[in-house]
Amino acid sequence: MYFEHIYEKGLAQASYFIGCQATGEAIVIDPKRDTNTYLEIAEREKMTITKITETHIHADFLSGSRELQMATNAEILLSDEGGKDWQYKFEHKGLKNGDIFKVGNLKFEVMHTPGHTPEHVSFLLTDTAASSAPIMIFTGDFVFVGDVGRPDLLEVAAGIKGTREKGAHDMFQSLKKFKSLPDYIQVWPGHGAGSACGKALGAVPSTTVGYEKISNWALNIDDEAKFVETLLEGQPEPPKYFAMMKKLNKIGPNVLGGVPHPARFTLTQFRHALKQNMKIIDTRDKFSFSGGHVKGAINIQDNSAFSTWAGWLLNYEEPFVLIAPDHRILELTKALMRIGLDNLHGYVHDLESWAGSCNELETVNQITVADLKKRLDDNGVQVLDIRGYTEHEAVRIPGSMNIHAGLLTENLDKIPKDKDVVVHCASGDRSSIAVSILLANGFDNVINLTGGISQWQQDGYEVEKGPKQDKAA
């Protein structure tokens, strides 16, 4: 058996290439949309991808199943569980609980494991050439290392009412199936730490059934009501793009036939884009952005969170332009296509020529924690915490209001205009995004807190902890 774990850090997403070396056949589980990775593995290992499958209709990334099928002519096998509302709408071979299919000498048994979603399945793998006992289970968003999939995404992100509590009860029942498996079976999940598909995912790539029985909180609550309550509490805000991913993955994403190559803009083209009010995404680091940026640009730094924040802030129907160096544009394009943001109109490789052509750049005002403390004592500013609600509830600067950075645009009416607004996150990355959003929307009274609440605590200033009675947003 040949096995390869492919991990995309930006979305904390895992996919799998598994092949039978005796027959040269291979399968890919939960492929990402930039499929060259799998094609290169197949060529290197002298294998042919004959099957493609998914554990469920994904919400956090755009599936590459149709893209990979177009390149390989492999058969797509997808869940037909969960009822008529949870069926894939493009051509595939349906899978039901207990079904078995083979890839060479590798046997895959389908387990219906609803909870995260109604149609969710897991795959139990047996290498029949070596043993009659199963060796691995591919759990998708069912069981993670140290956590289980959240059941509230359909309701919170996709607006499908009445699904979160039912999903939690379904998860409790599905975990009974998992706990009945032999302890030695390796568990290979669909996500790792950093994914919004759970609240406490571990950072190691795999685990075993036995270890999860010992260490996973969800497998150690025997009371169903208590389990449901615990599973639903404290889940992070799901990015806005999740609803679009559900829709596109259900009907079938557009096939691109490869990674697009956006145009490098001339200054004339860039001026034209600005006149058309195209959204400008500046991918430079927060310090460069603060020192000088194109007025109206949004700062989404080129780091591991780029995909997620692009999904929070970009409209799927509107073209946009990147500010990014030549050597990074390919990887940024891949990050965007993985969540279906295909309207990249072009890019500008730096701002030196732009600034050198008598175009004014906007800067970001900064404040230290010491200066903020003085101004708070004078009651002269409003502190805006743009972290997640659970982070704010855990620890916060006294008197701060909380609006998640991804929800600022819908809550601009809550931002004061009659006093300075000091924006902060944990250490400064997310607050740079938030400040750029507010500046782009005409707020000239915003200031970024250098070092964020981490620096505030490090310098020994007072904080509040625990639930607040009044929630700003």
Task: Please list the active-site residues.
Answer: 425
Both tokens assigned to 155: 């309701």
Residue 133, helix vs strand vs coil: coil
Give the integer Cα–Cα distance in Å for 318 and 333.
Answer: 16
Residue type, 29: I
Name the DSSP letter for residue 219: G
CA distances from 83 to 138, 159, 169, 176 (A): 22, 18, 17, 21
Pick from 142, 155, 143: nearest CA to 116: 142
User: How many other C-beta atoms lie within 10 A of the C-beta of residue 268?
Assistant: 8
Q: Where are the beta strands (DSSP E) in 331-372?
A: 344-348, 366-367
Do residues 404 and 309 make contact, with C-beta atoms less than 8 angstroms apart? Answer: no
Q: Which two tokens stand for residue 56?
A: 């469920």
Paired tokens of 240: 């806005």
Residues 435 and 412: their CA atoms lie apart, in Å, by 12
Residue 450 DSSP code: T
Among candidates 32, 120, 103, which has minimal Cα distance to 336?
Answer: 32
Distances (CA, A) of 225 to 148, 171, 175, 218: 16, 12, 14, 12
Angle at Cα 417 formed by Cα 453 and Cα 426, nearest 5°?
A: 10
Q: Which of 429, 427, 421 is nearest to 383 (CA)?
A: 421
Largest CA distance in the chain: 75
- Of the candidates 154, 138, 159, the one whose C-alpha atom is nearest the C-alpha of residue 31 is 138
Yes or no: say if 171 and 179 are a contact pair by the CB < 8 Å rule: no
